[in-house]
Amino acid sequence: MTIIEKLKNPTRRQLIVAGGLATGGLLLGYAFSGPSRQTLANRAASGEGEQMMATWIKISPDNTVTVYVPHSDMGQGVITALAMMAAEEMEADWSLVRPEQAPAETAFANENLGLNFTDGVNIPRLLQGVTDAAFVKLSQFMSLQVTGGSSSVRFTGEHGMRPAGAAAKDMLIRAAANRWGVPASECTAKLSHVTHPSGKSATFAELASDAAELSPPSTPVLKAKSDYTIVGKPIPRADIPAKVDGTAVYGVDIRQPGQLYAAVRLAPTFGSEVVSYDAEPILARRGVKKIVPIPGGVAVVADNFWRAKEAAAALDITFDTKGNEKLSMASLYAEHDAAIAADDSNEDVEKGDVATGLANAASTKQATYRVPFLAHACMEPMNCTVWIRDGKVDVWVGSQDALGTRARVAEVSGVDFDNVTMHPLLLGGGFGRRIPLRSGFFDFPSEIDFATLIAKEVDAPVQLLYTREDDIQHDAYRIAVTSSFTVGVDEKGMPVAWKNRYTIKDDPDEAAHIPYGVADQSIRYTDSQSIVPRGPWRSVAHTQHTFFNESFIDELAHDAGMDPFEYRRELLKDEPRHLAVLETVAEKAGWGTPLPKGRARGIAIQKSFKTIVAEVAEVSLGADGAVKVHKVTAVVDCGEVINSDTARQQVESGIIFGLTAALYGEITIADGAVEQSNFPDYEMVRMSDVPEIDVHFIESGAEIGGLGEPATPVISAAVANAVFTISGKRVRELPLKNHDLTPKADKLASAAE
């Protein structure tokens, strides 16, 4: 039996149930067992008299149901969605459900995430290294609260929240049956009550103490989809009211008594070290309290941020660049080209005999594609507030892993994990940027490390805040990748042999794979490295390879004289889910129907995080070649939609995020340093540029997939393919802004046709 099968059929040992004896409450959820469980759970108690001995679902005396979600919400609505999944199975009245982010306590660690990631697959780099430092208290599980990889609904929700909710309902029904002396099969749970045909009725709260005495079912029975009353509906997100009325708290909002502020001055050249700095004139400035050396730079602490920032900028520092000033985009791409040419590569996909397939092909086509580094550019710049006093630490930050942040602060501060209190806050954007543990994925200290190091030297709470320039020039970037294709085609122009060599393997493993029916495939990667800090970026490697593969397949279609939709359709005839999504997006977008003069459509498709997305972009070019995207039609098969409102929002936001990368996004390196510094030179799609977005879902009943990321990678290829139809110019390197796309008159005419 696989780990996932075990999670679908939890044992009593996996389902921990306890009554809050003082309050008459019930708590239930997947949890670890062990002698420290009760201590940890009591520490996580949020209300007077509560005794928390398990996780995720709590019934209070007022009949409210609190669902603790072990993920952070960056606007994707995951806390609401997971609470919906638990409440649906529990038959709770949604008006009485209170979704909350779980505390940063090991009692609320998310085993489902670790178990699903490790069930027969490689651990993603964003999770490597966490077991040693972050979760020493848990020897049997990878204890995580990571939010990333579009994993929250498909892992935690599907294999955690649903069974926990179903188990709670079963226990409440049995408690009622025992109290009334009737068979449990005659009792029904609905709207936070259990009823019997005799007229007997009790609230969940009234039954909670009795239910706590019962053993949870080893195989909780889940509801049929036809019986859903919550899941699939457009439920308003729980976080929206506070964000609208201004009461929502982000990291930049934190103010503590006597709080000080820190600004950093980091070496512009990657890999540099501080040789010396002149502290005396800076310490004489008004409000400046201290100068603290940090890895690769210096921090200035003052009584307000402006004074700290200005003092840091004025600090006279000498850096040792270690020779890294020689790095540039030209040198980096030269390394890429040399590595691909040498073909000292590692296996990704080997299928059939590519060498023979190429030799026997009617013709071959070669092309090389590139994408640049990208920053995350979250609207809330990086920040972290830390207060170390009396052998204890408090940390306030918006993090994609609250428990991991707590562990990291403990490690850097040298304070015992149990003496660190993490206060999770809302995130003003994340996209992979706010994952605290650099071990195994990142090779440089984070703002959390810096804030902790600074706090060790200051007898007060201190808030570290990056400027926008700090944030863009010292990010953990989406990596720049080069991908080279050699493909053999038959007499009809259909691919029979697919050879692909690319630089740097990134998560997830399957990102470079193609869904198309090509008999012979050889996809391999080189180990080209760079000192430029790298990190996960929304949809990770899919953003690179979807642009590469879907642009190149479009090239092959045009070379064959075939419609790009029909070409893909032929190659996907053995992939029914892909084919259904492709055909639906063509129908919804009106593929092949006339367009206004000067416009064209482009199409692309990709499966990522178990979700298939196809998009059609309707594009025009200005007289100066500027790209204007008028409309994007998206069709999504994520297996099942949990919240129809937030699902649509995630597809829309993913398209907009990816559109920025397609049109404008690039981080370039010169003299070992990032050239961009702020939004004027790291341009973003503005509201006036956002196209009409038409989203459609196919609920195929397939394994549930993610939604936070899959819409992002497809848009760049869809837009670039439309641009080719108009301009006749094939863009093989993003962003589009760098290319002369002035349309040719004959292409404008054919596009209109």
Read off the pLDDT of each residue in 39-55 and give the average, rounded to a whole number: 42
Name 515's Cβ contacts closer than 8 Å, sequence gap at least 6: 572, 575, 578, 605, 607
Q: Two tokens at 90?
A: 């529990």
Q: Determine, yes or no, domain membership for 45.
A: yes
Last residue of a domain, one of 465, 493, 518: 465
Q: Determine, yes or no, domain membership for 105.
A: yes
Structural domain that includes position 661: 543-752
Task: Kindly state whether residues 224 and 256 are assigned to the same domain.
Answer: no
Task: Kindly state whether residues 297 and 222 are assigned to the same domain.
Answer: no
pLDDT digits (tens, 9 = 90+) for 677-693: 999 999 999 999 999 99
Handedness of CA 42, 47, 51, 56 (dihedral sign): negative
* pLDDT of the residue at 212: 81
Name 746's Cβ contacts closer than 8 Å, sequence gap at least 6: 728
Residue of higher predicted confidence among 624 and 666: 666
Task: Kindly state whether residues 461 and 592 are assigned to the same domain.
Answer: no
Residue 213: which pLDDT band, with cuts at 50, 70 and 90? confident
Residue of higher predicted confidence among 2 and 149: 149
Q: DSSP letter at 558?
A: H
Q: Which of 19-33, 117-131, 148-162, 262-276 has the highest mean pLDDT?
A: 262-276
Handedness of CA 245, 251, 252, 254 (dihedral sign): positive
In which residue are the tokens 């949870």 written? 216
* pLDDT of the residue at 245: 96
Q: What one-letter code names the amino acid at 240? A: I
Q: Each residue of 584-622: b (16+ CB within 10 Å) or e?
A: bbbebbebeeebeebbbbbbbbbbbbbbbbbbbbbbbbe
| pLDDT at 88 > cutoff 60 | yes
Task: Kindly state whether residues 306 and 190 are assigned to the same domain.
Answer: no
* pLDDT of the residue at 113: 57
Q: Determine, yes or no, domain membership for 334.
A: no
Q: Two tokens at 722?
A: 């439309």
8 Å CB contact between 48 and 61? no
Q: How far apart are CA 552 and CA 102, in angstroms?
A: 44
pLDDT digits (tens, 9 = 90+) for 592-630: 999 999 999 999 999 999 999 999 999 999 999 999 999
Q: How many CA atoms within 13 Å lie on the side-chain side of 126?
A: 32
Residue 26: which pLDDT band, with cuts at 50, 70 and 90? low
| pLDDT at 581 > cutoff 50 | yes
Q: How far apart are CA 14 and CA 26, in angstroms?
A: 16
pLDDT digits (tens, 9 = 90+) for 629-657: 999 999 999 999 999 999 999 999 999 99
| Cα torsion through 176, 180, 183, 184, rounded to 10 | -10
Q: Determine, yes or no, domain membership for 364.
A: no
* pLDDT of the residue at 519: 96
| pLDDT at 140 > cutoff 80 | no
**Cis peptide preceding 735, ω within 30 of 0:** yes
Read off the pLDDT of each residue in 145-160 and give the average, rounded to a whole number: 89
Identify the bridge partners of residue 601 per DSSP, sorted by sequence position: 618
Q: What is the phi/psi pair of residue 636, to 5°?
A: -130, 130
- Which helix (H) or strand (E) element contains residue 65? strand 65-69
Q: Two tokens at 667?
A: 């981080």
CA angle (679, 685, 687) in 5-degree steps? 110
* pLDDT of the residue at 142: 39
CA angle (79, 382, 674) in 5-degree steps? 130
Read off the pLDDT of each residue in 54-72 and give the average, rounded to a whole number: 87
Average pLDDT over all residues of the chain: 88
Task: Kindly state whether residues 170 and 210 are assigned to the same domain.
Answer: yes
Task: Kindly state whether residues 73 and 177 are assigned to the same domain.
Answer: yes
Strands (E) located in 555-702: 599-608, 611-621, 627-637, 669-670, 673-674, 692-697
Q: How far apart are CA 128 and CA 435, in angstroms?
A: 12
Which three-class secondary structure state does DSSP give residue 15? Answer: strand
| pLDDT at 733 > cutoff 70 | yes
pLDDT digits (tens, 9 = 90+) for 321-352: 999 999 999 999 999 999 999 999 999 999 99
- Chain centre to alpha carbon of residue 100: 19
Q: Determine, yes or no, domain membership for 212.
A: yes
Q: Two tokens at 691?
A: 């196209």
Task: Kindly state whether residues 549 and 663 are assigned to the same domain.
Answer: yes
Residue 435: which pLDDT band, with cuts at 50, 70 and 90? confident
Number of domains in the chain: 3
Q: Determine, yes or no, domain membership for 116.
A: yes
Task: Kindly state whether residues 705 and 651 are assigned to the same domain.
Answer: yes
Residue 732: which pLDDT band, with cuts at 50, 70 and 90? very high
pLDDT digits (tens, 9 = 90+) for 168-198: 999 999 999 999 999 999 999 999 999 999 9
Q: What is the phi/psi pair of residue 4, to 5°?
A: -65, -40
Read off the pLDDT of each residue in 24-42 and give the average, rounded to a whole number: 45
Residue 1: which pLDDT band, with cuts at 50, 70 and 90? very low
CATH at 431 = 3.30.365.10
Task: Kindly state whether residues 421 and 553 are assigned to the same domain.
Answer: no
State the helix-helix crossing angle for 644-663 and 714-727, rounded to 10 degrees: 50
* pLDDT of the residue at 678: 97
pLDDT digits (tens, 9 = 90+) for 160-173: 899 989 989 999 99
Q: How many CA atoms within 13 Å lie on the side-chain side of 541?
A: 20
* pLDDT of the residue at 537: 95
Q: Two tokens at 575?
A: 């992939």
- Chain centre to alpha carbon of residue 234: 22
Residue of higher predicted confidence among 544 and 60: 544
Last residue of a domain, one of 193, 228, 263: 228
CA angle (589, 591, 593) in 5-degree steps? 105
Q: Which of 11-15, 50-54, 556-560 has the highest mean pLDDT?
A: 556-560
Q: Two tokens at 538?
A: 């929304």
Q: Two tokens at 470?
A: 């700090």
Task: Kindly state whether residues 222 and 255 are assigned to the same domain.
Answer: no
pLDDT digits (tens, 9 = 90+) for 237-273: 999 999 999 999 999 999 999 999 999 999 999 999 9
Residue 445: which pLDDT band, with cuts at 50, 70 and 90? confident
Q: Determine, yes or no, domain membership for 725.
A: yes
Q: How far apart are CA 79 and CA 85, in angstroms?
A: 10
Q: What one-letter code names the amino acid at 201? A: S
* pLDDT of the residue at 464: 98
Q: Determine, yes or no, domain membership for 303.
A: yes
* pLDDT of the residue at 437: 60
pLDDT digits (tens, 9 = 90+) for 100-135: 999 998 878 776 655 555 444 444 444 433 433 333
Q: How far apart are CA 31 and CA 50, in angstroms?
A: 17
Identify the bridge partners of residue 28 per DSSP, sorted by sequence position: 17, 57
Q: How far apart are CA 609 and CA 202, in angstroms?
A: 42
Task: Kindly state whether residues 104 and 169 are assigned to the same domain.
Answer: yes
| pLDDT at 458 > cutoff 80 | yes
Q: How many CA atoms within 13 Å lie on the side-chain side of 743?
A: 25
Name 86's Cβ contacts closer than 8 Å, sequence gap at least 6: 56, 57, 67, 92, 161, 162, 164, 165
Which three-class secondary structure state does DSSP give residue 628? Answer: strand
State the helix-helix crossing angle for 204-212 and 162-180, rounded to 10 degrees: 90
Residue 299: which pLDDT band, with cuts at 50, 70 and 90? very high
Q: How far apart are CA 647 and CA 232, in angstroms?
A: 9
Q: Which of 678, 655, 662 is nearest to 739 (CA)?
A: 662
Q: How far apart are CA 377 and CA 429, in angstroms?
A: 8
Task: Kindly state whether residues 158 and 300 are assigned to the same domain.
Answer: no
* pLDDT of the residue at 32: 33
* pLDDT of the residue at 753: 55
pTM of the model: 0.91
Q: How far apart are CA 268 and CA 279, in angstroms?
A: 19
Cβ neighbours around 431 below 10 Å, total? 24
Helices (H), 622-699: 644-663
* pLDDT of the residue at 107: 77
8 Å CB contact between 230 and 87? yes
Last residue of a domain, one of 175, 196, 228: 228
* pLDDT of the residue at 444: 67
Q: How far apart are CA 398 and CA 695, in angstroms?
A: 30
Residue of higher predicted confidence among 745 and 125: 745
